[in-house]
């Protein structure tokens, strides 16, 4: 499998390491476990991966040639969030015995990563699952319109939540930037 890492991903990685932030490192661990969950699901479905890429908008796995079923797509997409839920829950059990700040940050990161990735947004695991399920019953053009509408509603809701949190608590700038980047990705990819 070919590994492709973008310039901004390298910058982000080094900036996370230089901050010495437990939360950043916990988030990075949650992201790695998420991708390993996808790889495990791919091996269960016997889907070979051609490329693993890390870029400005996240990570991605590219299957090597051949078609696979909607069921395999759903299993492949569930692998990452289920991995986050599994390791987050396991860590929650460990938190009873060891209440470290890193463990708390990892639990939050794992659950947040799982929930965000399960949102029905184009390009997210939830969006791909939603697309596969809709294609079982509806033609492609209708499926794409429904998924675009769901993506818009979810991203707009995240953006609205970020504005509320910014005004109410003067925090959550990262959620605001994240939702704006999702908006731009959604609209730039449509052109």
pLDDT digits (tens, 9 = 90+) for 107-137: 999 999 999 999 999 989 999 999 999 999 9
| Mean pLDDT, residues 1-15 taken together | 73
- pTM (2 decimals)? 0.81
CA atoms within 13 A on the CB side of 178: 15
Q: Do the beta carbons of residue 38 and residue 52 sit within 8 Å?
A: no
The span from the CA of 38 to the CA of 23, in Å, is 23
Q: Show the CA angle centred on residue 58, arms to residues 4 and 138, nearest 5°.
A: 110
| Mean pLDDT, residues 137-166 taken together | 92
Q: Show the CA angle centred on residue 4, arms to residues 124 and 130, nearest 5°.
A: 15
**What element of type H or E holds 62?**
strand 58-63
Pick the range with the lowest mean pLDDT from 1-5, 58-62, 72-76, 114-118.
58-62
pLDDT at 186 over 80: no
| Maximum pairwise Cα distance, the chain | 52
**Cβ atoms < 10 Å from Cβ of 17:** 12
């Amino acid at each position: 499998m070919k590994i492709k890492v973008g310039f901004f991903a390298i910058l982000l990685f080094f900036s996370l390491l230089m901050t010495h932030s437990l939360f950043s490192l916990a988030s990075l661990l949650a992201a790695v476990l998420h991708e390993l969950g996808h790889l495990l699901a791919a091996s269960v479905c016997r889907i070979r991966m051609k490329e693993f890429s890390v870029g400005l908008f996240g990570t991605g796995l590219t299957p090597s040639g051949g078609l696979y079923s909607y069921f395999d797509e759903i299993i492949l997409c569930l692998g990452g969030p289920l991995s986050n839920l599994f390791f987050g829950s396991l860590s929650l059990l460990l938190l009873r015995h060891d209440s470290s700040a890193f463990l708390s940050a990892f639990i939050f990161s794992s659950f947040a990563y799982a929930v965000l990735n399960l949102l029905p947004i184009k390009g997210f695991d939830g969006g791909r699952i939603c697309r596969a399920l809709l294609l079982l019953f509806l033609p492609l053009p209708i499926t794409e319109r429904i998924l675009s509408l769901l993506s818009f509603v979810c991203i707009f809701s995240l953006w609205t939540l970020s504005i509320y949190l910014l005004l109410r608590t003067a925090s959550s700038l990262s959620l605001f930037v994240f939702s704006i980047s999702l908006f731009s990705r959604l609209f730039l990819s449509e052109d």
